[in-house]
Amino acid sequence: MTAEEDVAPLLRPEGWALLEALPPYDAAAALGLGSRLREAGQPAATVAAALTQSRLRAAARGKVGAFAAGMLFTTEGLEQATRLPVAARHADRFRRGGATRVVDLGCGIGVDAMAMAGMDLAVDAVERDETTAAVATVNLRHFERARVHLADVTDFPDPLPVARPGTPGGVDAAWVDPARRRDGRRLFDPQQWSPPLSWALSLPGTGVGAVGVKVAPGIERDLVEPDGPAAGWTAAWTSVDGDVVEAVLWWGSAATTGVRRSATVLRSVGSAGPDGEATVQVQEAGTLSDAGLPEAAVGEVGAYLYEPDGAVIRAGLVGHVAAEVGGRLIDPMIAYVTGDEHVPTVWARSYAVQAVLPWGLKRLRAHLREHGVGRVTVKRRGSPIDPEELRRALRLEGDGEATVVLTRRGDERVVLVVAPLPGP
Ligand X SMILES: C[S@@+](CC[C@H](N)C(=O)[O-])C[C@H]1O[C@@H](n2cnc3c(N)ncnc32)[C@H](O)[C@@H]1O
State which of residues 109, 311, 315, 335 lies at the interface with ligand X (CB under 6 A). 109
Residue 191 beta carbon to ligand X: minimum distance, rounded to whole angstroms: 13
Amino acid identity of 137?
T
Residue 243 beta carbon to ligand X: minimum distance, rounded to whole angstroms: 17
Regarding 177 and contact with ligand X (CB under 6 A), the answer is yes
Question: For residues 56 and 52, what is the distance between their CA atoms, to the nearest angstrom?
Answer: 6
Answer yes or no: are the C-beta atoms of 327 and 281 closer than 8 Å.
no
Regarding 152 and contact with ligand X (CB under 6 A), the answer is yes
Q: Which is nearer to ligand X, 124 or 307 (CB)?
A: 124
Regarding 246 and contact with ligand X (CB under 6 A), the answer is no
Q: Between the CA of residue 162 and those of 82, 178, 213, what are the distances in Å?
A: 25, 21, 18
Residue 127 beta carbon to ligand X: minimum distance, rounded to whole angstroms: 5
Q: Which is nearer to ligand X, 127 or 309 (CB)?
A: 127
Quick one: angle between helices 111-118 and 130-139, nearest 10? 30
Answer yes or no: are the C-beta atoms of 158 and 136 closer than 8 Å.
no
Q: Which is nearer to ligand X, 140 or 305 (CB)?
A: 140
Question: For residues 102 and 115, what is the distance between their CA atoms, to the nearest angstrom?
Answer: 11
State which of residues 111, 163, 288, 378 lies at the interface with ligand X (CB under 6 A). 111
The residue number whose beta carbon is nearest to ligand X equals: 106
Nearest to 106 by CA among 180, 158, 163: 180
User: Interface with ligand X by CB under 6 A: which range of 46-54, 109-117, 347-355, 389-397?
Assistant: 109-117
Q: What phi and psi, each to the nearest 5 degrees, are found at residue 372?
A: 65, 25
Answer yes or no: are the C-beta atoms of 3 and 75 closer than 8 Å.
yes
Regarding 217 and contact with ligand X (CB under 6 A), the answer is no
Q: Between the CA of residue 244 and those of 36, 238, 312, what are the distances in Å?
A: 44, 6, 9
Binding-residue total with ligand X (CB under 6 A): 23
Regarding 331 and contact with ligand X (CB under 6 A), the answer is no
Answer yes or no: are the C-beta atoms of 49 and 15 closer than 8 Å.
yes
Residue 218 beta carbon to ligand X: minimum distance, rounded to whole angstroms: 16
Helix (H) or strand (E) holding 311: helix 310-314
Pure H helices in 3-129: 3-7, 13-21, 27-39, 44-64, 75-80, 84-96, 111-118
Regarding 417 and contact with ligand X (CB under 6 A), the answer is no
The 3 state secondary structure assigned to 233-266 is CEEEEEEECCEEEEEEEEEECCCCCCCCEEEEEE
Residue 158 beta carbon to ligand X: minimum distance, rounded to whole angstroms: 13
State which of residues 132, 264, 383, 407 lies at the interface with ligand X (CB under 6 A). 132
Residue 113 beta carbon to ligand X: minimum distance, rounded to whole angstroms: 7
Regarding 153 and contact with ligand X (CB under 6 A), the answer is yes
State which of residues 154, 192, 198, 377 lies at the interface with ligand X (CB under 6 A). 154
Nearest to 315 by CA among 241, 393, 210, 234: 234
Q: Which is nearer to ligand X, 108 or 302 (CB)?
A: 108
Q: Which is nearer to ligand X, 182 or 371 (CB)?
A: 182
State which of residues 48, 88, 117, 126 lies at the interface with ligand X (CB under 6 A). 126
User: Interface with ligand X by CB under 6 A: which range of 13-21, 31-39, 125-133, 369-377?
Assistant: 125-133
Regarding 238 and contact with ligand X (CB under 6 A), the answer is no
**Would you tell me which residues interact with ligand X (CB under 6 A)?**
80-82, 87, 106-112, 126-129, 132, 152-154, 177, 179, 194-195
